[in-house]
A and B are shown apart, each in its own frame.
Chain A
Amino acid sequence: MAGAAPHRKEFGRRGLSFYLLAAFFALFVAFLYGPMSAIYTLSFQGPTGGLTFPMRGASLHWFVALFEQQRTGDFAGAFGRSLMLAGLVLTLTVTLSVLAGLAFRRRFPGSTFVFYLAIASLIMPGILVGLGVGLTFQLFGVRTAWYTSALGAQLTWTMPFGLLIMFAVLSRFNRAFEEAGRDLGASSMQIFWMIVLPILLPGIIGVALFGFTLSYDEFPRTLLTAGAQNTLPMEIWGMTTNVTSPALYALGTVTTLVSFSAIAVSLGSIAFIQRRRARRSATAESAADETTKQDSN
C-alpha cells in the first residue's frame, strides 16, 4: 500500500461503511432467525397457551400431543418414511452426481446437452415436476409411492445441486496426484478409491447434506407423487390448514432438530477431515525436513 496515496488506508478498512454494513448484516440475521426462534419458543407453551405470545407457562405438552394426535393422520409413520426417503435420496444423489461430475472432467459429445438438462431440471418449478411425474405414472398405469415416483421426482432436484457442487470441488482438484499414482503403477480403480475419493470427500459430504435435507423437507415435488402414504412435509402442510394449536410449532421444532443434526454431523465431519489432513501434512513436512537434514549430514 505504498506511495501513491499515503493518506488512504487499504480498501475495506474499518470505517463508517464497515459499521453500516455490519449493522445491515446483523439486521438480516435477526430477520432470518427471529421468527424461527419465536416458534421454537412457542412450541414449549403451557397446556393452556395459544399460537402467540404471551407464554402461559412452559411445558412439553404439545410435543406429547404431537405423538398422541391421530387427527391429522400418521405422524410417526410419516416421520419414518421421510427419513428413509431422505436416506435413499442421499445415497443415489451422492453416487450419481459424483460419477457424473467425474465424467465432466473430459469433454465428451453431448456434454452441453446433459449440462443444460440438469440446469433445466434444477430450475423447473417443483409443482410442475410433481404434476408431470404423477401424470406419467397414471398414464402408464403404475401406482405412485414415496419410494418410486416421489424418489424420482426429488432426484431431479437434488442431483443437479450435487452436480454443481461437484463442479466447484473438481475445479480445485489437482490432477498431479492422480498422475503420481499412475506413475507408481496404481490401477484406475486404486486411483479412484485411494486418491480421488479421499481428496473429494469433504465436497461429497456437502453433496450428501444437500441430498438429505432437500429431500427431507421437499414438499412441491412430493405432493403429487407420494401416493397413499404421506411424508412429513405433507403432514406439516395438512396441519397448517387444520391445526390451530402449538402442536404445529412442536412439529416445527422436532423437524428442525433433525435438519440441524444433519448439518452438525456433515459440517463436523468436514472439519474433522480438514484438521486431520492439516495435521498429517504438518507431520509429513517435518518428516521431510528430518530426511533433508539427515541427507545433508
Chain B
Amino acid sequence: MKLSPTLTSYLQVGPMMLVLLLFFGVPLLVVIAFSFFDFDGINTVPAFVWDNYAELFASKVTLSLYLKTIYYALVVWAITLVIGFTVSYFLVFHVRSVIWQMALFLLCTVPFWTSNIIRMISWIPFLGRNGIFNQALLGAGIISEPLEFLLFSDFAVIVAYVHLFTLFMIVPIFNSMARIDRSIIEAAWDGGSSGWRIVSDIIVPLSKTGIALGSIFVITLVMGDFFVVKVMSGSHSASVAMAMSNQIAMVQYPPAAASAVILLIIVTLMVAAILRLVDVRKELAR
C-alpha cells in the first residue's frame, strides 16, 4: 500500500499538531473564556460579562504597568540588539578559523542551556550593597560610599534581562550573517567602499531576518516575564505579567485571564509589526 504524499505529511505532522492544539490552542480559548466569567472577589461563575475588562481599564495601575513593561522591553531590546549584532559581526567576519568560530559561538550559547533563575540570582552577590562590584569600586577608591542603585532597582532588572536574553539575539543574527555571500562584501571592498558603508548597506540589510527574529524573542520574553522583575527590583517595580502572577496566586482567575488577553493582544501587535517589516517565514522554511 502506498500512501499519498499529502496523507503522509498529515500523519507525520499530526502528533505535534495534536499536542499544540491540546496544550496551546485549547488553553488559549479557555483563558479567553475565563476572562468573561463573572468574578465577585471570591467565586468564579461561568458567564459572559465585560466586568473584568472594565475593571482592568478603569484601574490607574494598568497604564503605568504597561508603560513600565514596554519601557523595559525597549531598553533591553536596544541593548541586546547592539551587543548581539556586534558579537555576531565579530564572530562571522573577524574570526577566520571555522573551529574558533564554532568554539566562540558555543561559548556564547552554553549559558542558554542552564537555569535562568540561577543565572538571575547570580547577580545578587555581585550587585549588592556589600557585593563584589561595590567592594571593587571602594577598594579602588573610585567611590567612598557603596552605590545603592545597583541591586533591587531598574538597573538590576535590566542587567539581568540583558544577561538572560542576549543569546536570543546572537543566535539568529549569527545565522543570518553566516549565510551572507562573501563575494558581495569583497566586491564592495574592492570597489573602495568603507567598512562602515559595508556594514550599513550590505550586512545590516542582509541580516535583517535574524535581527527581526531576535527582536521578536527578546521583546516577547521581556513582556512575559514575571520573576526577574520581582526578584531583581526587590518588589520595588512591577510588570504586567508579575501583576498577573500575583492575581493568579490569589486565585483571582477571571481578572488574571482578562489581563492575559490584553497582554497577548499587545504582544501580538508588536510581533505583527516586526513581521510586517521583515518576512521571516521565507527565511526560516526555505
Q: A: which residues have CB within 8 A of B?
A: 1, 4-5, 8, 10-12, 17-18, 21-22, 24-25, 28-29, 31-36, 38-39, 42, 51-53, 92, 95-97, 99-100, 102-104, 106, 108-109, 111-112, 114-115, 117-118, 120-121, 123-129, 131-133, 135-136, 139, 152-153, 155-156, 159, 163-164, 167-168, 171, 209-210, 213-214, 216-217, 219-220, 223-224, 233, 236-237, 240, 248, 251-252, 255-256, 259-260, 262-263, 267
* B149 vs chain A, min Cβ distance (A): 17
B267–A103 CB distance below 8 A: no
Contact (Cβ within 8 A) A167 B284? yes
Partner of A220, one of B27, B87, B220, B226: B226
In the complex, A102 Cα to B10 Cα: how many Å? 10
Seen from chain B, the residues whose Cβ lies within 8 Å of a Cβ on chain A are 5-6, 8-13, 15-17, 19-28, 30-31, 34, 83, 86-87, 89-91, 93-94, 96, 104, 106-108, 110-111, 113-119, 121-126, 128, 130-132, 135, 163, 166, 175, 185-186, 189-192, 195, 198, 216-217, 220-221, 223-227, 231, 241, 244-245, 248, 253, 256-257, 260, 263-264, 267, 271, 281, 284-286
A36 to B245, CA, bound (A): 27
A127→B241 contact, CB < 8 A: yes
Q: In the bound complex, do residue A220 and residue B284 qualify as a contact, i.e. CB atoms below 8 Å apart?
A: no
Which B residues are CB-close (under 8 A) to A104?
9, 13, 285
Set of chain A residues within 8 Å of B267, measured between Cβ atoms: 123, 125
Please give me the 3 A-B residue pairs with the lowest Cβ-Cβ distance, nearest first: A125-B224, A132-B27, A152-B23
User: Across the interface, do B115 and A259 meet the contact criterion of CB distance under 8 Å?
Assistant: yes
Asked if B87 and A24 sit within 8 Å, CB to CB, the answer is yes
* Contact of A115 with B16 in the complex, beta carbons under 8 Å: no
- Shortest distance from the beta carbon of B35 to any chain A beta carbon, whole Å: 10
Known: A103-B10, A136-B30, A220-B224. A11 touches B93 (CB 8 A): yes
CA distance A163 to B6 in the complex (A): 19
Nearest-neighbour CB distance to chain A for B158, whole angstroms, equals: 13
Q: How far is the CB of B95 from chain A (nearest CB, A)?
A: 9
Question: A128-B224, A132-B30, A213-B113 are contacts. A256–B118 as well, Cβ < 8 Å?
Answer: yes
Residues of A within 8 A of B106 (CB): 267
How long is the Cα–Cα vector from A171 to B286 in the complex, in angstroms? Answer: 7
Contact A28–B191 (Cβ < 8 Å): no
Partner of B113, one of A156, A223, A263: A263
Q: Distance in Å from the Cβ of B109 to the closest Cβ of chain A?
A: 9
